[in-house]
């Protein structure tokens, strides 16, 4: 599907970028501000984790429903509604006087994000034809996702130090305003797949995914093999099994099962699950290392992540040019392995490590690989997907990414905590953090190899001189 009459292609790209950037930003923007938030409300160690979990739970649980709505609902209406809800709860959370008010604000952001995230990838897929235009849109989408997380850490430090923690919520209003303007100029109110929502399927999959996430969250206070954790996991798996049965028996399933036989989508989903595990690990543990081992201030910690943003931009530009020649599989493999190498390099740090000597290099290497791999992952997920299913494919990919982030970070935090034990000295903390980073690198490397084995060899590629000409035009700014 081409861009609809009356819309502006550059504005559509701006929507793709701003919406994905906003969602990714809010996955990480509270990280550096957490100590100040704890001081304001007295959450304590277990309660403080809910500042993150309150966002993640509805975001992961409602993603497939959000993806389906992206195909069934007028896109301009859905985007404007999602952005309005995001703005409302951002303002609410920033003005919170009690801890529960902040948690409601974060939960509301997560609900809106579950609609907005699938819409971003759906627009990049359905509004731009395969080839150079699709490659450029996917580069914008991938770059927004990777950069949003890094910029979130940067802004978290700067805003907390200079304006106060409330601005990690209120700054969203600026990005929402820009996105609303872009939506009005660049998105028509087209409905790509008229139909109705499979209500039973939506309830089952939402409960199933949410239960899995709650099982992961419960590991903050209970052991992995404890009855509460196992009960949540069992409930989630049973609900998802029932969901699979229901989907074979309804006329308009939430997730048509034939979609799950698309090798490119499955490969991208597996990769996304493990990529976010490693990427979140890098943000979380490197930020902890800088502040608790090297004694960086929040502002200095945030600025330290700026090179990551630069590497992401370079990586996505390289991927945009290479994918049309080689397909997504080589870029997934090489980009993922380069990203893993960056995390492994981070894992060699200790108390004597300096920023220039041991942190700048891995930041650039890791971000280069992750930026390239994000583009390849998005293109692989939507290769061959009909425009009227693009929102659903996006929902599947993004659900897997958020589950991977929740599960991977919980596992790695457990590993780090057990490695550190009860010690509080910088050397013990450094050992725990770097152990987790090395395991995160292993997860990303495994995901790269597995995805390369699943994704077809030429998925996303365009051959011949015409493709090379289009790549040249895309890299140098031509339409």
pLDDT band at 439 (very low <50, low <70, confident <90, very high): very high
Question: How far apart are alpha carbons 139 and 299 in whole angstroms?
Answer: 29
**Predicted confidence (pLDDT) per residue in 300-342, tens digit:** 887 888 888 888 888 888 888 888 788 889 999 999 999 999 9
pLDDT for the residue numbered 231:
93
Query: What phi, psi does 283 have (nearest 5°)?
Result: -65, -50
* pLDDT at res. 192: 58
Local structure of 424: helix, strand or coil: coil
Provide DSSP, 182-213. Answer: HHHHH-----SS-----HHHHHHHHHHHHHHH
Contact 235, 340 (CB under 8 A): no
Cβ of 64: how many Cβ atoms within 10 Å?
A: 26
Digit-coded pLDDT (tens) for 47-98:
777 888 788 888 878 887 887 777 777 778 889 999 999 999 999 999 999 9
Maximum mean pLDDT: which of 76-90, 142-156, 239-253, 373-387: 76-90
Which residue would you say has higher pLDDT here, 143 or 348?
A: 348
Distance CA 399, CA 63 (A): 6
Count CB neighbours of 206 within 10 A: 21
Q: Give CA–CA dist 131/310, Å, rounded.
A: 25
CB of 202 closer than 8 Å to CB of 395? no
Rounded Cα distance, 313 and 151, in Å: 12
- Report the run of H or E that residue 346 belongs to, with start and end: helix 328-346
Most confident among 289-293, 331-335, 406-410 (mean pLDDT): 331-335
What does the alpha-carbon distance between residue 137 and residue 330 come to, in Å, rounded to a whole number?
19
Lookup: tokens for 343:
């995390």
Conformation bin of residue 215: beta by default, left when phi > 0, alpha when psi is -120 to 50: alpha
Give the whole-angstrom CA distance, residue 33 versus residue 28: 10
pLDDT for 380 beyond 80: yes
Q: How does pLDDT run across 256-268, given as a tens digit for each residue? A: 777 777 888 899 9
Tens of pLDDT, residue by residue over 194-242, are 667 777 888 888 888 888 888 887 877 778 889 988 999 999 999 989 9
Which residue reads 């958020």 in tokens? Answer: 402
Q: What percent of the chain has pLDDT over 70?
A: 91
- DSSP for 382-409 reads HTT--GGGHHHHHHHHHHHHHHHHHHHH
Question: What pLDDT shows up at residue 166?
Answer: 93
- Closest alpha carbon to 114 in 180, 55, 45, 174: 55
């Amino acid at each position: 599907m081409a861009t609809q009459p009356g819309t502006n292609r550059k504005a559509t790209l701006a929507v793709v970028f701003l919406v994905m950037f906003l969602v990714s930003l809010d996955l990480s923007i509270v990280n550096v501000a957490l100590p100040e938030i704890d001081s304001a409300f007295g959450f304590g160690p277990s309660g403080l984790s809910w500042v993150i979990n309150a966002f993640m739970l509805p975001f992961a649980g409602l993603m497939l429903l959000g993806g389906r709505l992206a195909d069934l609902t007028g896109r301009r209406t859905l985007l404007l509604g999602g952005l309005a809800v995001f703005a409302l709860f951002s303002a609410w959370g920033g003005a919170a006087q009690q801890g529960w008010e902040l948690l409601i604000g974060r939960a509301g952001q997560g609900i809106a994000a579950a609609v907005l995230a699938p819409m971003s990838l759906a627009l990049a897929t359905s509004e731009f034809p395969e080839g150079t235009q699709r490659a450029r849109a996917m580069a914008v989408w991938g770059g927004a996702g990777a950069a949003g997380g890094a910029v979130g850490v940067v802004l978290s430090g700067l805003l907390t130090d200079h304006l106060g923690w409330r601005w990690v919520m209120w700054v969203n209003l600026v990005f929402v305003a820009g996105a609303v303007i872009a939506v009005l100029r660049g998105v028509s109110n087209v409905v790509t797949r008229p139909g109705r929502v499979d209500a039973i399927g939506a309830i089952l999959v939402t409960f199933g995914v949410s239960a899995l996430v709650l099982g992961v969250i419960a590991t903050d206070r209970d052991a992995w093999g404890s009855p509460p954790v196992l009960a949540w996991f069992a409930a989630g798996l049973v609900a998802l099994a029932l969901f699979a049965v229901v989907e074979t028996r309804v006329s308009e399933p939430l997730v048509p099962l034939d979609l799950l036989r698309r090798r490119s989508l499955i490969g991208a989903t597996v990769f996304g699950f493990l990529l976010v595990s490693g990427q979140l690990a890098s943000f979380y543990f490197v930020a902890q290392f800088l502040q608790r081992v090297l004694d960086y201030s929040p502002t200095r910690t945030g600025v330290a992540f700026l090179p990551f943003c630069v590497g992401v931009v370079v990586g996505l530009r390289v991927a945009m040019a290479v994918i049309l020649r080689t397909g997504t599989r080589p870029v997934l493999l090489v980009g993922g392995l380069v990203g893993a190498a960056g995390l492994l390099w981070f894992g060699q740090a200790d108390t004597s490590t300096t920023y220039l000597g041991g942190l700048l290099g891995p930041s650039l290497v890791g971000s280069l690989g992750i930026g390239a791999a994000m583009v390849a992952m998005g293109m692989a997920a939507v290769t061959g997907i009909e425009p009227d299913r693009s929102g659903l494919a996006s929902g599947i990919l993004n659900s897997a990414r958020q589950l991977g982030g929740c599960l991977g970070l919980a596992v790695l935090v457990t590993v780090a905590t057990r490695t550190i034990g009860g010690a509080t000295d910088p050397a013990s903390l450094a050992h725990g953090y770097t152990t987790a980073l090395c395991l995160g690198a292993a997860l990303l490397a495994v995901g790269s190899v597995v995805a390369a084995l699943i994704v077809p060899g030429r998925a996303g590629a365009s051959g011949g001189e015409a493709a090379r000409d289009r790549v040249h035009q895309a890299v140098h700014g031509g339409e």
